[in-house]
């Protein structure tokens, strides 16, 4: 198999699904501190994929809205820099252990 330039790492993602319509009306809430998220729409032509940023704790969220129903919403927290680096380094140390055994 040709080696791709992208690598992959297993991650645990916190999410909220389904999102109640009451939450949707009052604004999306941070899973960590329950503050309201500042919502950004990175792509003007894709209104069902949003980024949310918590102004209190700084967490980032991907908000995915089913374009068919507009009520099936997933709010998923994007791992922060430290979590990403921890996940990558734990994958590297596992790979090293496997190579040592072989």
> Where do contacts with Zn ion occur on this chain (CB under 5 A)?
30, 32-33, 35, 54, 56-57, 59
| Least distance in angstroms from the C-beta of 37 to Zn ion | 8
Measured CA distances, 72 to 18, 24, 63, 66, 91 (Å): 7, 11, 11, 5, 33
| Least distance in angstroms from the C-beta of 75 to Zn ion | 12
| Least distance in angstroms from the C-beta of 84 to Zn ion | 18
Q: Which of 35, 91 has the CB closer to Zn ion?
A: 35
DSSP annotation of 36 reads B
Contact status, residue 14 vs residue 76, Cβ threshold 8 Å: yes
């Amino acid at each position: 198999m040709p080696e791709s330039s992208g690598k992959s790492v297993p991650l645990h993602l916190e999410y909220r699904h389904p999102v109640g319509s009451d939450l949707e009306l009052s604004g999306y809430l941070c899973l960590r501190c329950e503050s309201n998220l500042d919502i950004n729409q990175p792509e003007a032509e894709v209104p069902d994929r949003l980024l949310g940023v918590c102004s209190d704790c700084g967490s980032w969220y991907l908000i995915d809205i089913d374009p068919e129903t507009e009520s099936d919403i997933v709010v998923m927290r994007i791992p922060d820099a430290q979590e990403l680096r921890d996940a990558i380094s734990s994958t590297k140390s596992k790979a090293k252990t496997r190579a040592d055994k072989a």
